[in-house]
Amino acid sequence: MSDAIAKTAQQAGTSAVQRCIVPACAALFAIRQPIYVCPRCGGPLEIEIPLEPLQAVADLRERWRARAASHDPRDRSGVWRYRELLPFDDDAPVVTLFEGNTPLYDAPRAAKYAGLAALRLKHQGCNPTASFKDTGMTTAVTQAKLLGARTVVCASTGNTAASLAAFAARAELQCAILLPQGQISPAKLAQSMDYGAVVCEIAGNFDDCMRLISELADVPSIYIANSVNPFRIEGQKTVAFELLEQCGWRVPDHLVVPGGNMGNSAALGKGFDEMRRLGLIDRLPKISIVQAEGSAPLAHLFAGLKSSEIAADAAFPDEIAPVANPRTLATAIKIGAPVSWKKALRAVLRTRGSIITVSEPEIADAKAIIGRDGIGCEPASATTVAGIRKLVSAGKIRADESVVAVLTGHVLKDPDYASHYHRGTLSFESLTAEGAAKSVPIVGAFRNAPEKVAASKAAILKSLESRR
């Protein structure tokens, strides 16, 4: 790095601040103040990176591209490669597993299924712990180190825990994770155990775990790494930069993401916004969020907005009605009271996107069709393709527009789901009109069950012939 460049990066690093996103408050706090929400009004915090010093840098895109060939550990990371836009000094004790650098795939079968000419899938399941959470944990755990924390803690539907446990292990910090008992995929739980975390199985649901987290937030030696934490958003926003680089800086018309706690959608919104304010792109993709029907508080709120409110950025409801008993087999988005919904809604309204729901059978078939493109994702990720199909048939996405869906986790995160789908034994719990729970089987359109074949060449050839 030349001296001039180092100075620019350092300036950006040292003068970033934390700002309350509630317009009536907008209070500012120092970047190393150990807070998670606004101490004045309780509102969500956002990191503000000073972009002016960077506007003078002519070759940012070229510099980022060149780093991909470097062996500096920070350059091997698809997050720290963009460190000019991260709120850390050049000598920060970076905790990295070489996260990011995930593939952008063409998915012709999924495109056809959704009614598009082409569809690209950004596979965040190809991160070190197999979900997009790693891109935010690298920055959050680096901040925990800087603040001198002894223990890092999170509530999780599984992937946040697995990711935090891994980064805490790298950083030699104690890690505690709070999980809703019996509601986590065994594969995700196994990861957290392997990375040495203290696994606390709580008798309650995810939202109960979140409440406990906020009670732990005042213990000085503890650092909270849930997505309410703005330092996670900073790492996750870099996915927008990496995606733009992979698109040759041609902005896709649409970006579609699943919505759970809404950190991911909020982060992508921030990332694209920063690129536009830096002048590296001249428009924003329409950001749309897809929720599972049984866990869709933000989609319900969005459906209730008047069209004038959707058009105007000013529309900003204060409250969201939580879903008391969220239901979906896509456990990563089984969240009734999303923490980052305001930031996510702002991103959708600013870019004129949509927030919609999809059903359990729609998620299951979309997941299987993504598989047919040779790409394995977990159920929550497949809401994107199911949602795109609905948006295309509703005329919100045109068949010839460029669309990128973000796959958030890897198929091996939830192998039981895939296996049950293909064997025809998948079912979900739905509510009757009277409010009673009943089990509904999912008859997948793309089932592919194993078959019993005799131990002979002829039998194998016959089996292949019958399936051609």
Ligand X SMILES: *Cc1c(COP(=O)(O)O)cnc(C)c1O
**C-beta of 340: minimal distance to ligand X in Å?**
7
Rounded CA gap, 157 and 206, in Å? 7
Phi, psi of 328, rounded to the nearest 5 degrees:
-175, 150
Tell me the residue number closest to ligand X, measured at CB. Answer: 409
Rounded CA gap, 411 and 391, in Å? 24
**C-beta of 126: minimal distance to ligand X in Å?**
12
| CB-nearer residue toward ligand X: 135 or 359 | 135
**C-beta of 337: minimal distance to ligand X in Å?**
12
**C-beta of 330: minimal distance to ligand X in Å?**
7
Residue 360 and residue 329 in contact, taking contact as beta carbons nearer than 8 Å: yes
- Burial (0-12, 13-18, 19+ Cβ within 10 Å), 172: exposed
**C-beta of 460: minimal distance to ligand X in Å?**
36
Rounded CA gap, 218 and 35, in Å? 9
Rounded CA gap, 409 and 407, in Å? 6
| CB-nearer residue toward ligand X: 63 or 300 | 300
Residue for token pair 């069209």: 307
Rounded CA gap, 317 and 365, in Å? 34
**C-beta of 405: minimal distance to ligand X in Å?**
12
| CB-nearer residue toward ligand X: 332 or 369 | 332
**C-beta of 235: minimal distance to ligand X in Å?**
12
Q: What would the DSSP string read from start to end of 87-130?
A: SS-TT-----S------EEE-HHHHHHHT-S--EEEEGGGSTTS
| CB-nearer residue toward ligand X: 131 or 402 | 131
Q: Which pairing describes strands 286-292 and 254-258: parallel, antiparallel, or unpaired? A: parallel
Helix axes 379-393, 360-372, angle to 10 degrees: 100
Sign of CA dihedral 138, 141, 143, 148: negative
- Following CA atoms 333, 336, 339, 341 in sequence, which dihedral angle do they give, to the nearest 10 degrees? 80
Q: Which residues of the chain form contacts with ligand X (CB under 6 A)?
A: 131, 133, 159, 227, 258-265, 332-333, 378, 380-381, 408-409
Q: Which pairing describes strands 17-20 and 28-30: parallel, antiparallel, or unpaired? A: antiparallel
**C-beta of 125: minimal distance to ligand X in Å?**
7
Residue 116 and residue 388 in contact, taking contact as beta carbons nearer than 8 Å: yes
| CB-nearer residue toward ligand X: 20 or 289 | 289
Of the candidates 457, 427, 421, 431, the residue with the CA atom closest to the CA atom of residue 440: 427
- Cross-strand partners of 199: 177
**C-beta of 109: minimal distance to ligand X in Å?**
21
**C-beta of 411: minimal distance to ligand X in Å?**
10
| CB-nearer residue toward ligand X: 122 or 133 | 133
| CB-nearer residue toward ligand X: 13 or 259 | 259
| CB-nearer residue toward ligand X: 13 or 44 | 44
| CB-nearer residue toward ligand X: 184 or 280 | 184
| CB-nearer residue toward ligand X: 326 or 409 | 409
What tokens appear for 51 in the block?
């972009």
What tokens appear for 299 in the block?
């989609």
- Cross-strand partners of 458: none
Q: What is the CA radius of gyration of the chain?
A: 22
**C-beta of 331: minimal distance to ligand X in Å?**
9
| CB-nearer residue toward ligand X: 9 or 175 | 175
**C-beta of 291: minimal distance to ligand X in Å?**
9
Rounded CA gap, 330 and 292, in Å? 8
Rounded CA gap, 234 and 36, in Å? 14
Q: Measured over all CA atoms, what is the biggest interatomic distance in the chain, rounded to whole angstroms?
A: 75
| CB-nearer residue toward ligand X: 142 or 227 | 227
